[in-house]
A and B are shown apart, each in its own frame.
Chain A
Amino acid sequence: MPREIELFGFFVPTLLPIFLFAFGLQWLIDNRLGRLGVYGRVWHPALFRFSLFVCLFGALGLALYR
């Protein structure tokens, strides 16, 4: 995949749309987990959420830079 993509005539790093995609994905998973009550069993829900996001974004980003 190209590392820069064209957006309205400007080059932006592909990581930006990936970041936004990961954010959306995180939002969906987060709501799902919240509905299932997972966060009641987690020590630090915010840390869990943040780590989940880092995993998602990292995995998608690695797929780009591999």
Chain B
Amino acid sequence: MSSAATAPEIGPGPGTGAAPWRAALRTWQAQDGRAWIFVAKTFIAALLALWIAFRIGLGSPRTAMLTVFIVAQPQTGLVLAKGFYRAAGTLVGSVMALLLLALFAQQRELFLGALALWIGLCTAGATRTRNFRAYGYVLAGYTACLIGLPAAQHPELSFAIAVTRVSEVLLGIFCAGVVSDLLLPQTLGSGLIATVRDGHQAFARFVVDALHGRLDAGAIEQAHDRFLAQVIAFEAQRDAAYFESPEARLRSSRLRLMNADFMAATTGIHLLHQARLRLLKRQQTAVLAALQPLYAALAEAVQPAGEALPARAADTPPLLARLAAFRAALPARAAAARAQLATPGEQLDADTVCELLQRFAGELHDYTDSYRSLATPGGLPPRPAPAYVPHGDRLGAALAGLRAVAVLLAVSVFWIASAWPSGIGAVSIACIVCCLFAALPAPVAAAKGLSIGFAAGLIASFCCGLLVLPQLDGFGLLAAGMAPFVMIGVRLLATPRHAGIGAGYCLMFGSTIGLDNLTRYDPALLLNEGFAALLGALVATLAFALIVPAGSPRLRRHLTRSLHQQLRMACFAPVAGLRHRFENSTRDLLGQLLAGADRGTGEDRALLARAMAVLEAGRAVIELREVAGSGGLPIGTRAGLHAAVRVIARLFDTPDVPRRQQALAALARIDTRLLPSAPEAIVDAGDDVAADVGEQAALRRARAALHLLRSLLGDDSSHAALSSHDAGTDPEPLPQAPPDAP
């Protein structure tokens, strides 16, 4: 009674009085709370896996618990994706282990050699894929090692060992996935929607600002850096969110298409911006003045004065309509701009920029259109979605594979020669570390963090397993006794800065705590196993530091050179779908380069500038090849265009002054050949107007593409960015100013 009477009075009381209290709680919930939720979920999943494994009597229940620690991720999609690829890798690896055992069980040298070869192959394969798929490759490699080594000593038990390992890993993945998905789920999907919205809005704002010329070089560079990170992070999230829910699966291809369109659009705006900078540099004020209304019109189409940019996918149809209207009106406007200009050279400049504008407006339209398609829950992608194309580096892959082989063989030799009882542990851990960290930008630091974690985990395992657990009895008390030790490790795992140490801690703790069906109290065994693992990790760390370190100047130079090699691809790879493959693999490569770049020394900025120059030149070449391949032009002209591509490819291979002049001369020759045919075509093809219009358009495109390439090759700063294989070499300027357009 009294509570009912006082309730209304109390009601507002805490509401006002506890406002700061609640705010504090909310900030804690947003920052630290998430981490603790993750800790609690991981611990529950680990206990669940452990309990089931004990209950159904699996061989070594700790593997199930370890698997939970390994796949533990804050978001459900990441857990499911990592779990899926872990399951797949484990299955393939165990089949391979059985195969190797069947072939070479009696000969340990042959067996270890074949195992090393398989691991090397898997590690090399992993560097050619991205995200958790690479993890699956790595796992297929070292699972063969984890199963094969113990089984080689008892070949008659090999199938049982493989079945036990597979079922424990699957149990751990199942528990981690179920707990992560059911208890307070944190999905990637919701974050992905926010990323998509922010990404589109930020890009549209950037486009408007860039078209109005409100951005300086630094801001543009930063924006492109951000866009690149966005492309790569987005692909990783999309890939993992696929496993989360059927809605995410339905959305996946549209998101992939959107990312591809986004890449094309960022290059498009870069091309436009560069063209404008070149006009400024050559002081073509008349051309700039004539084009100004076109830039303004596109900016107006993206964001009319006084209107906000579309905040959601459902708000985009007006923007799409405006962009389509802009594209339809552009030819007439371009003709008007052209009419203001006196010389043919100026007109060609204007035509080139108009072609770029038309293309960019199309790309922005495509990007917005694929964004719009996300508004309807079950929609299809507006166009077929191309796959994400990673850049596979052959040398890096071979090095990673060779390093893994060398480490495995070195530790095995030590194991065999010293007849060390715990040698298996050292070999396995060295192999795992070598495989897992091969694709990281800074593997030495990661391996060091892991070793520190191993040491900490060994201490914790010693305290928990030898001092605490022997006092306790029953599963409930076991859980209570382990809780503080496990939680420390998982909390470290949840902190991005200490995730490596946390992973090492959890791995070591889980594998040496000695949770088996028959409890054993054996400090010597614990220490032996622990030190073996520590030694394995240290050997792998050494290998990363000694055998062609990932960050070594030579390897970085090689990668930088392969950025340049992308231009060969633009010149010679089959042209169908090349635009996307080129854009995508160049960005992927740049992402790898930037991940290891030193942000302090300006290396990242040099790399970004070079990559943007490569993207620009590649796009111009591909455009030229596309024009040459399309039907609209006479055969002689097309052959001429192909010849020009070959000359340019030679220039890209060895960029020196004579070749640059040669290339510019070849482009000029073809351009003059294109020029006289234009008026003839109008006279000759009077009876077939449609064909004539098609040829005119193709001709205009070809000339614009040629002119773009000529101004690019004639521009000393672009040429410098393209030609220097190592950052900091001198640009080779042309002896005289490049000849102006005819």
Contact = CB atoms under 8 A, between A and B. Distances in A.
A1 interface: no
A26 to B, nearest CB: 11
B88 interface: no
Given A35-B378, A40-B377, A47-B182, 17 more contacts: A30-B246, A31-B246, A31-B249, A31-B250, A34-B246, A34-B249, A34-B250, A35-B246, A35-B250, A37-B378, A39-B245, A39-B246, A39-B247, A44-B182, A49-B181, A49-B245, A50-B178
Contacts of A39: 245-247
A35 B377 CA distance: 8
Contacts of A10: 159
Contact of A50 (B182, B245, B378): B182
Nearest to A29: B246
B386 interface: no
Contacts of B249: 31, 34
B181 A50 contact: yes
A15 to B, nearest CB: 12
Given A35-B250, A50-B178, A50-B182, A45 B245 contact: yes
A33 interface: yes
Interface residues of A, number: 15
B185 interface: yes
30 contacts: A30-B246, A31-B246, A31-B249, A31-B250, A33-B246, A34-B245, A34-B246, A34-B247, A34-B250, A35-B246, A35-B250, A35-B378, A37-B377, A37-B378, A39-B245, A39-B246, A39-B247, A40-B377, A44-B182, A45-B245, A46-B76, A46-B181, A46-B182, A46-B185, A46-B245, A47-B182, A49-B181, A49-B245, A50-B178, A50-B181
Nearest to A40: B377
Contacts of A46: 76, 181-182, 185, 245
Contacts of B378: 35, 37
Contacts of B377: 37, 40
A25 B159 CA distance: 29
Nearest to B159: A10
B80 to A, nearest CB: 10
Contacts of A47: 182
B550 to A, nearest CB: 38
Which 3 pairs of residues, A with B, have the shortest CB-CB distance? A34-B246, A46-B181, A31-B246
Interface in B176-201: 178, 181-182, 185
Q: Contact size class for B?
A: 10 to 19
Contacts of B181: 46, 49-50
A53 to B, nearest CB: 9
Contacts of B159: 10
A31 B181 CA distance: 17
Interface string B247-280: 1011000000000000000000000000000000
Contacts of B245: 34, 39, 45-46, 49
A56 to B, nearest CB: 15
A5 B476 CA distance: 36
A37 B250 CA distance: 11
Contacts of A37: 377-378
Contacts of A49: 181, 245
A63 B377 CA distance: 37
Nearest to B180: A46
Interface in B63-82: 76
A37 to B, nearest CB: 6
A37 B245 CA distance: 12
Q: Which of A10, A30, A45, A49 is packed against the most chain B CB atoms within 10 Å?
A: A45
A24 to B, nearest CB: 14
A37 B246 CA distance: 10
Contacts of A34: 245-247, 249-250
A30 B247 CA distance: 10
Contacts of B185: 46
A10 B158 CA distance: 13
A30 B80 CA distance: 16
Interface in A8-48: 10, 30-31, 33-35, 37, 39-40, 44-47
A29 B76 CA distance: 20
A5 to B, nearest CB: 15
Interface in B151-171: 159
A47 B76 CA distance: 13
Contacts of B178: 50
Nearest to A38: B246
A35 B251 CA distance: 11
Contacts of A31: 246, 249-250
Interface in B218-269: 245-247, 249-250
A43 to B, nearest CB: 12
B159 to A, nearest CB: 7
A65 to B, nearest CB: 16
A44 B245 CA distance: 12
Nearest to B160: A10
